[in-house]
Copies of this chain bind each other. A is one copy, B any other.
Amino acid sequence: MPSPAHGRRLDAVPGPFTPRTPRVAAARRLHRRRDRDATGRFLAEGPQAVREALTRPGLVVELFGTPAALDRHRDLAARAATADVPVSEVTEEAIGVLAETVAPQGLVAVCRHLDVPLDRALATAPRLVAVLAGIRDPGNAGTVLRTADAAGAQVVVFAGDTVDPYNGKCVRASAGSLFHVDVVRATDPGEVVGALRAAGLTVLATTGYGDSDLDDLADAGRLAAPTAWLFGSEAHGLPGELTDAADARVRVPLHGRAESLNLAAAAAVCLYASAKAQRSPVRGSSAKESVRP
C-alpha cells in the first residue's frame, strides 16, 4: 500500500488505490459542500473536465484514474505529470465512489477552488456578465454558466443562496465552462448589483413580469452597452429588491400560449440578444431610427 502522503507517478509499481485508501476517502468527501468549503477543493470528473482543468496552471491537485482510463487518455496523464500533478491509479470500485455519474469515464481530478473576488473580475472590464441569484438547482446553474460562456460572457457570479458552483452536478452541467470564465461567489446580491453599476455595466433583471420587452430593448440599441443579466430561480424568480435595483426589468416575449420559459431557455435568449447587439454596430444604429418615440 503506497503512503497516502505522497502522490504516485504512472511509472510507480504498487497496485491501484481502493475506496479505503485515505486519499481516495478524503477526495470522496468532496461530494459534500461542507468538505469543499473547508478544504477549498472540488472534484472534476471525466476526460473533458479534466482536460479543461489542466489548462489552468496550479488548479489540479491530483488526478485519479483507472489503469484503462489513464491508458486511453495518455495525453492527459502526461500533461498532469509535466505539471507536477500527482497521477494515481485507482480501482474501478474507487472511481465508482469518486464519480457521481452512473457510467464514469475513469478519470476524476481533485481541483482547487478557482473563484475570484468580484472586484478583480470587474477590473478586466467585462462587457457581458451573468449573475445567478438564488438558483438552487445545480443542473440549471451549470447550464446557465455554460450558456453564458457560449454567449461570450467573461464573468459569472453565483450570488446569495445560489448553489455552490463546485457542486458535482453543476460542474458537469457546465461542460467545462466553469474553467473558462471568471467565476465569482458573493453572499450579498444587492452589493453585487451596486458593484456592477459602479463598474459601468447596465444591470438587467429577467422577470416574466418585466415592463421592458427584450426585442424592444434590442431594437432600441439598449443591449449594445456592457451588460449584466440577473437570473433568479425557476420556482421563485428574482427577489423584489434585486428587480428594483436593476436598470430595467426585462421579459422575454411569449408569442404562443406557454406561460413561461424555463431558466436555461430564457437565459440563452437574453444572453444571445446581448451578444448579437454588442457585435452589430450597424443594426444597433439603424434599428434606432425605427424605434417609436
Contacts and interface: CB of A to CB of B under 8 A. Distances in A.
Contacts of A118: none
A286 B264 CA distance: 31
Contacts of A279: 215, 255
Interface in A143-179: 143, 146-154, 173, 175-177
Given A260-B175, A268-B268, A150 B255 contact: yes
Contact of A257 (B147, B180, B215, B266): B180
Oligomer copy total: 2
A276 interface: yes
Interface string A262-293: 10111111001001100110110011011000
Instruction: Determine the interface band of chain A, counting residues with CB < 8 A from chain B.
Output: 35 or more
Nearest to A146: B258
A181 to B, nearest CB: 7
B276 A282 contact: no
B149 A258 contact: yes
A240 interface: no
A290 B201 CA distance: 28
Given A150-B254, A215-B276, A272-B252, A262 B264 contact: yes
Contacts of A269: 268-269, 272
A180 B150 contact: no
A279 B143 CA distance: 29
A138 to B, nearest CB: 14
Contact of A265 (B265, B276, B280, B283): B265
Given A150-B261, A215-B276, 8 more contacts: A146-B262, A147-B265, A149-B256, A175-B262, A215-B279, A255-B275, A283-B287, A283-B290
6 contacts: A143-B264, A177-B258, A215-B280, A255-B275, A266-B268, A269-B269
